[in-house]
Amino acid sequence: MTREEALKLVKRNVKTKNLVKHMIAAEAVMAELAKHLSEDKGKWGLAGLLHDIDYEETKDDPKKHSLIGAEMLDELGVDREIVQAVRVHNEEHGIPRETLMDKALYAVDPLTGLIVAAALIHPDKKISSIDTGFVMNRFGEKHFAKGANRENIKACQDFGMDLDEFVEIGVAAMQEVSSEIGL
């Protein structure tokens, strides 16, 4: 599946603009991580872009989220490694994350939310105005961006990356797509 085909699929299945922006942010961070880890940038980017393909359908039943999406992607013939990463990014299922891609997507998903929240509290609300230090200062605040699970973000250690480096890569990647994500 090409990026263009994936984006069409996303736009067909996801009507919430902020969710589409989140998926584009996840795509950017996953692709940048792949580059950093000498992995397949295109494949990792697709995993980020497609990871919440079923969210609107499953938002009221978290136990189905990612399982339906993975099934949909599998039926479309999407690379099995991407399908698996999508399937296991939702911790509700207790499915072990085995590959680097699995582990990265699990940590990237909440990281994008934390970075967006940090950008939105900056006076100009621009991602270009924040840096790793700005995000890390918010990381320890329990009541800031509650939905961005800190333990999941810290799982970056499971693929050999320290938290500061992970956040730095995430901020830089999202800055590259700032116009697409509206920040």
* 125 contacts 116 by C-beta, under 8 angstroms: no
What pLDDT shows up at residue 139?
94
CATH of 3-176, one of 1.10.3210, 3.40.50, 1.10.15, 1.10.3470: 1.10.3210
126, 178 contact by CB (below 8 A): yes
CA-angle at 48, arms to 46 and 52, nearest 5°: 110
Tokens of 145: 């961006």
Per-residue pLDDT tens over the stretch 124-148: 999 999 999 999 999 988 889 988 9
- Structure confidence at residue 180 as a pLDDT band (50, 70, 90): very high
Concatenating the DSSP letter of every residue in 5-62 gives HHHHHHHHH---HHHHHHHHHHHHHHHHHHHHTTS-HHHHHHHHHHTTTTHHHHTT-T
Which SS3 state, helix, strand or coil, does residue 96 take? Answer: coil
pLDDT in tens, 45-76: 999 999 999 999 999 998 999 999 999 999 99
CA atoms within 13 A on the CB side of 15: 3
* pLDDT digit string, tens, across residues 1-30: 999 999 999 999 999 999 999 999 999 999
